[in-house]
Amino acid sequence: MEYTLLGSTQLRVSKLCFGALTIGPLQRNYSPAVGGRILAAALEQGINFVDTAEMYRTYEHIAWAMKATGLEPVVVTKSYAYTEADMATAVLDARRVLGQHIPLLVLLHEQESEHTLRGHWPAVEYLLRAKDQGLVQGLGVSTHHIQGVKAAATIPEFHMVSPLINVSGLGIVDGSRDAMIAACIEASGQGKAILGMKPLGGGHLVRQRHQALQFLLEQPWMAAVAVGMKSTSEVDYNVALFSGQPPTDAGAPFQRQLHVDHWCTGCGACERACSQQAIHVKNGRAVSIPERCVFCGYCGAACPEFAIKVI
């Protein structure tokens, strides 16, 4: 496994980051024990970096894996909090489940531009104090927007940017793959660690996963890549690839789909939650636009009827 220093945090992390969205209730809906066993296999093979978020509800899965292996990875989590009080709750909740000693980084979730960053600044001010107190080891943003990367690059207090980036540019909201790469290079030049996400475009690129992952591995500005893994065979495949070894067979490529149950009321909460404009209400029912969907499951998290799932 290849390791790197995570920007100015000086944390040593594996270039392969375990994306915990896949094992949680927004996607595969594994129990903490079942999902935890997959993560435990990853930790035992040298992955020491885990990506999660407040809304993913996978802290218990991570805690299970840590208890099972005795290993404590670096964890990066994300929160939509605007206020100091809400961000304090988010950080303390993560610490309560994950423990007081693991290295914890906190990102503002799904930032779009300088404007949205300004709106979240009270939460940033809390994180700066939390860093001084040792509650967090770094802060930054996650984003599907080129403008979000550019805005974060100008803020000296930020340590990390987690942009949506893949070989085809799938899911980038406001421009091309090459424009996103240029923004990432700019942010890296300003000292921000870059944690790439959606390397397989939410699953659209799974049939060319070797080439898609290799593309990001070849980017010299990329500190690490968060890859969702739903089985130990996928862990084995990705560990081999990121270690420069011939990948093992990960089994048949898994094609995700967005499922809307018959009890959908057409309230529109999913449409409002989707930054990709990949779901809309038609004839009183939510309908997905597959070519735009990156299968994040955020629409399902917003659904008051629990009628939407990534399967």
CATH topology classification for 3-242: TIM Barrel (3.20.20)
Q: 245: which residues sit within 8 A by CB, 6+ positions away?
A: none
Query: What averages of pLDDT result for each successive group of 10 residues across the chain (311 residues)?
Result: 92 98 92 98 98 97 98 98 98 97 96 94 97 97 97 96 95 95 97 96 83 94 96 94 82 68 90 89 90 83 81 68
Q: How many CB atoms lie within 10 A of CB 100?
A: 9
Please give the pLDDT value at position 248. Answer: 72
DSSP for 117-185, written as a single string: HHHTHHHHHHHHHHHHTTS-SEEEEEES-HHHHHHHHT-TT--EEEEB--TT-TT-SSS-HHHHHHHHH
Return mean pLDDT, the chain.
Answer: 93
Please give the pLDDT value at position 294. Answer: 84
Asked if 206 contacts 194 with a C-beta cutoff of 8 angstroms, the reply is no
Please give the pLDDT value at position 253. Answer: 54
3-5 and 12-14 beta bridge pairing: antiparallel
pTM for this structure?
0.88
Q: 182: which residues sit within 8 A by CB, 6+ positions away?
A: none
Please give the pLDDT value at position 39. Answer: 98
**What are the domain boundaries of the chain?**
3-242, 258-310
121-to-116, 127, 158 alpha-carbon distances in Å: 9, 10, 12
Number of H helices and E strands in the chain, helices first, is: 11, 14
Of 205, 209, 195, whose CA–CA distance to 248 is shortest?
Answer: 209
CB-hemisphere CA count at 13 Å for 223?
25
Asked if 202 contacts 167 with a C-beta cutoff of 8 angstroms, the reply is no
Of 136, 181, 133, whose CA–CA distance to 158 is shortest?
Answer: 136
Chain-centroid distance, C-alpha 117:
18
Please give the pLDDT value at position 250. Answer: 56
Query: What is the phi/psi pair of residue 225, to 5°?
Result: -130, 125
Cα 16–Cα 127–Cα 58 angle in degrees, nearest 5: 45
Alpha-helical (H) ranges within the chain are 32-44, 59-69, 84-98, 114-119, 121-132, 146-153, 177-189, 209-217, 232-242, 269-273, 298-302
Distance in angstroms (rounded) separating the CA atoms of residues 247 and 13: 21
Count, residues in the chain = 311
Of 186, 103, 204, 109, whose CA–CA distance to 149 is shortest?
Answer: 186
Cα 139–Cα 140–Cα 144 angle in degrees, nearest 5: 150
Of 184, 188, 153, 150, whose CA–CA distance to 166 is shortest?
Answer: 184
258-310 under CATH 3.30.70.20, yes or no: yes
